[in-house]
Amino acid sequence: MRPYQTILIFTTGIIVIAIAVFVFYGGGPGGRGVAAIGGPFTLTDQTGRTRTEKDLNGSYNLIYFGYTFCPDVCPTALQVISNAMDLLEKDLQNSITPIFITVDPTRDTVEHLKSYVENFHPRMIGLTGTEVEIAKAARAYRVFYSKSENTDDTTDYLMDHSSIVFLMNPEGVYMTHFTHTIKPERMAEALKREIGK
């Protein structure tokens, strides 16, 4: 391989990585640089009602993708969201909707989601759908997920997935994101700051 080819490949690689990082983080935590996260979806909530991104607009939304059979990361993330919500004044709390979108629609049926989200917060919405609908929603949020390969079991399996809580404004525009390791107090502070109430 000639030197210029090596340089070309190397430079292209760096540019691809830089774009990926920028798109994923939307210009960094708290950044409002790129509105690459979010987009249209059609899903079904825990009461069986069809929900699109449009009817969820009008509220600040905390969106998290996961699955109910997740042993620890998802319950942690949803508990942090719930605890952070409870630390907020009622007005602010009522302007935010926590939304849990399953990446495991085979097991996470409407009925199953209903009893699951009830464990966390009264304002929490659970969303499921077909494989195609879920894939579309996940793509809009740049969320990765896949069935864990180290099991042949069709009912008892784990899912690998991104674990990021997205804060979207009432127009459906990305504002910031959190990881499931954040303390509820910190998330509550960030919500107050971002929403500015």
Q: Is the dihedral of CA 139, 24, 143, 48 positive or negative?
A: negative
Q: Please pick, from the candidates 62, 70, 81, 137, the single residue that binds Ni ion as defined by CB under 5 A.
A: 70
Kindly indicate which of the ranges 10-18, 35-43, 63-71, 106-114 contains the residues binding Ni ion, using the contact rule CB under 5 A: 63-71
CB atoms within 10 A of CB 35: 15
Kindly indicate which of the ranges 48-56, 61-69, 84-92, 118-126 contains the residues binding Ni ion, using the contact rule CB under 5 A: 61-69
Q: Is the dihedral of CA 169, 175, 178, 183 positive or negative?
A: negative
Q: How many residues bind Ni ion (CB under 5 A)?
A: 4
Kindly indicate which of the ranges 6-14, 72-80, 128-136, 150-158 contains the residues binding Ni ion, using the contact rule CB under 5 A: 72-80
CB atoms within 10 A of CB 118: 12
Name the residue among 85, 91, 62 with its Cα closest to residue 168.
62
Which residues inside 1-30 make contact with Ni ion, applying CB under 5 A?
none
Q: Please pick, from the candidates 23, 35, 36, 73, the single residue that binds Ni ion as defined by CB under 5 A.
A: 73
**What minimum distance in Å lies between the beta carbon of 85 and Ni ion?**
19
Q: Virtual CA dihedral for 54, 56, 62, 68, nearest 10 degrees?
A: -110
Pairing of strands 125-128, 42-45: antiparallel
126 scored as a contact of Ni ion (CB under 5 A): no
Q: Please pick, from the candidates 37, 56, 62, 74, the single residue that binds Ni ion as defined by CB under 5 A.
A: 74
Kindly indicate which of the ranges 18-26, 54-62, 67-75, 108-116 contains the residues binding Ni ion, using the contact rule CB under 5 A: 67-75
**What minimum distance in Å lies between the beta carbon of 73 and Ni ion?**
4
Strands ordered across the beta sheet of 125-128:
50-52, 42-45, 125-128, 96-102, 60-66, 164-168, 174-179
Q: Please pick, from the candidates 26, 38, 66, 126, the single residue that binds Ni ion as defined by CB under 5 A.
A: 66
- CB of 197 within 8 A of CB of 95? yes
Binding site for Ni ion (CB under 5 A): 66, 70, 73-74
